Structures are given as structure tokens and as C-alpha cells.
A = this chain, B = another copy of it.
């Protein structure tokens, strides 16, 4: 292990997970840097978080994933980069990867993971496509670029899963005292970790040669429990038995499919930006190595022109 404390940059530090990493790093005595967007400073909640960081001696760097130069400059100041960007920004981490390559000094990169292992999960849709595919793509990009990494698999956050006793409809903020709904038979073993503990392990791992190019699983034996076991722990604490309803796997799968899934407005708008602002459909040459054009191949197909299509409405 390094005798001097590694300098750590957290990207996404004002988010739910990032906050714990910044605080954990600063409290462990590591010189700590947080990349913060201008927009976050004008946000009341995030502004308060940033003030808390400053009180802990954290260096705030104003920057953005979109601003390559500021990113490279921030990265050049540190040894370790921890990304905690949110779900819908996962693939923007390719910009961090590019900046790390250019900076050339980073000894360890921790991409944003902080859940179940994306290479080991059997998760069904929609989460496989909407969450885990991006995490896998970033893992493969990190490996392809030869960037030294550690993947953090902390499994379930206690603040989300233990506080609620896994009751989400509606989501409880403290465990129920009368009844509880249990997924399946409730015997699958699950891992729960308190947010501050996760940060403590992460900060230990960032300059540990034993975690280089490895996945760090945070699986404390005492916290590897089935849902049934967790419910029993709670029942013992309150000295009362809860009414239990089991929801079968078949029913869980049906419920997932029953949720409506319209294209969210923000997805549609980002596609429109790509198409109507950037011109992504037409701004490249169709090289015969990879592509062919349909109207050239099949000139006899009579297609409907936009002009004719519009006629039906005129």
C-alpha cells in the first residue's frame, strides 16, 4: 500500500452515492477532489452538499464531463478517479476514460457500479437493457484501454433496502410493524451494506495492489441474509410477528411486464437532438466495407416520398 495517501477525485460527488465517497475519502485523510457542475452549485440541496465538502477540506473543481480539457486537468491532479455518475449518465463515462487515457497518470479508476455484479446477474428486462448493459459496456471499454481498475460490487444499500425492509409500493422509510410482502420464498441470500461502510471499504481498496484489476465484493458474512432472515431480525427487535404475504416468482415477472413503458420524454428528446440537431443519420459516408444503401440496391421498389406522405394530411 502507498505510504502517502492517494489523491482521490470523485466525479458525481453530489449524488446519492458520491456524497458518501467524498466524505469517506476526506475523513480517511486522503486529499480529496470533487468535480462539480455549475448547475449543481445553484441547486439548493447540492449547494449545501458542496458546502459540507468544503468544510471537510475537499477541493471543489468546477467542470463537466462535456468539457474534455477541464476533465483532463482535474484528473492530472490525482492518483485515483472514482465515478459515481447516475444511471442515465453511465455511458458518458467513455468521456472519463478518454480523459484518463490523455492524462496518463491515473493509478486506479473505479467506474460507477455500486450494485449487483453486472457480469453475474440474471436480471430480467427492463433493468438488463436499461442499467446493466451500460455497466458492462463501460467495464469492457476500461479493459480494452488497459486502464487500471477496481469494480465495486456492494450489492444492496442499507439505506434503501433495509430501511424499507424491501417494501416499495409505496416505499417505506422505516420497516413495517404489521405486515410485509416477501419476494418468492424469501430464501435467496442477499447482501446489505450501510453507505458509510461501503465508502470505508472503497477508500481502503483504491490503492491496494490486491484489488488491482479485480472486482471488490463487499459481502460481510453478518450481512449476507435472506429476506426471511432479515424479517426475523426485525421481528425480534420489535418483539412482534409480522403478517407475511409471499409473492410468487411468476407473479413478480407478470407485474414487471404489466407496468406501462412509454418512451420517456427525456429519451425521445435526446434522440431528437441526435437526429435533428447533430444530423447523425446523414453525417457519415456509407463505406462499402460496412454498409449498402437500399434505394441503390433495389431501384424498382416504389417508395413513398415525404412530399407524397404529407399529402394525406393536406
Q: Which A residues lie at the B interface, using CB under 8 A?
A: 39, 86-92, 115-117, 120-131, 133-134, 136-137, 153, 155-156, 158, 162-163, 166, 168-169, 174-175, 183-184, 186, 188-194, 196-197, 200-201, 204-205, 208, 210-211, 214-225, 227, 230, 233-234, 237-238, 249, 252-253, 255-257, 259, 261, 263-284, 286, 290-295, 297-298, 301, 303-307, 309-311, 313-314
Offer 19 A-B interface pairs, CB within 8 angstroms, sorted by A.
A89-B129, A92-B128, A124-B273, A129-B133, A156-B275, A163-B313, A175-B313, A184-B277, A186-B276, A188-B277, A188-B278, A188-B282, A210-B297, A215-B290, A216-B292, A217-B291, A217-B292, A219-B295, A261-B264
CB within 8 A of A238: which of B124, B216, B314?
A: B314
Instruction: Say yes or no: A214 contacts B290, CB within 8 Å.
Output: yes
Instruction: Say yes or no: A261 contacts B256, CB within 8 Å.
Output: no
Contacts of A208 in B (CB 8 A): 297
**What's the minimum C-beta distance from A140 to chain B, rounded to whole angstroms?**
9
Instruction: Say yes or no: B222 contacts A133, CB within 8 Å.
Output: no
Contacts of A306 in B (CB 8 A): 158, 162, 192, 222-223, 225, 230, 233
Contacts of A221 in B (CB 8 A): 295
Instruction: Say yes or no: A131 contacts B271, CB within 8 Å.
Output: yes
CA distance A3 to B24 in the complex (A): 69
Instruction: Say yes or no: B255 contacts A204, CB within 8 Å.
Output: no
Which 5 pairs between the two chains have the least Cβ-Cβ distance?
A188-B279, A88-B126, A183-B276, A259-B266, A123-B274
CB within 8 A of A279: which of B189, B201, B269?
A: B189
Contacts of A267 in B (CB 8 A): 126-127, 130-131
Instruction: Say yes or no: A188 contacts B275, CB within 8 Å.
Output: yes
Of all chain B residues, which has the CB nearest A89?
B125
**What's the minimum C-beta distance from A254 to chain B, rounded to whole angstroms?**
9
**What's the minimum C-beta distance from A199 to chain B, rounded to whole angstroms?**
10
CA distance A89 to B125 in the complex (A): 6
Q: Are A276 and B190 CB-contacts (below 8 A) given A88-B261, A155-B281, A223-B306?
A: yes
CA distance A227 to B276 in the complex (A): 7
Known contacts A188-B277, A218-B293, then 5 further A-B pairs from the complex at CB < 8 Å, ordered by chain A residue: A121-B280, A222-B307, A224-B282, A234-B310, A253-B273
CA distance A175 to B309 in the complex (A): 11
CB within 8 A of A127: which of B124, B230, B270, B277?
A: B270
CA distance A269 to B261 in the complex (A): 13
CB within 8 A of A281: which of B191, B259, B261?
A: B191
Of all chain B residues, which has the CB nearest A169?
B265
Contacts of A314 in B (CB 8 A): 234, 237-238
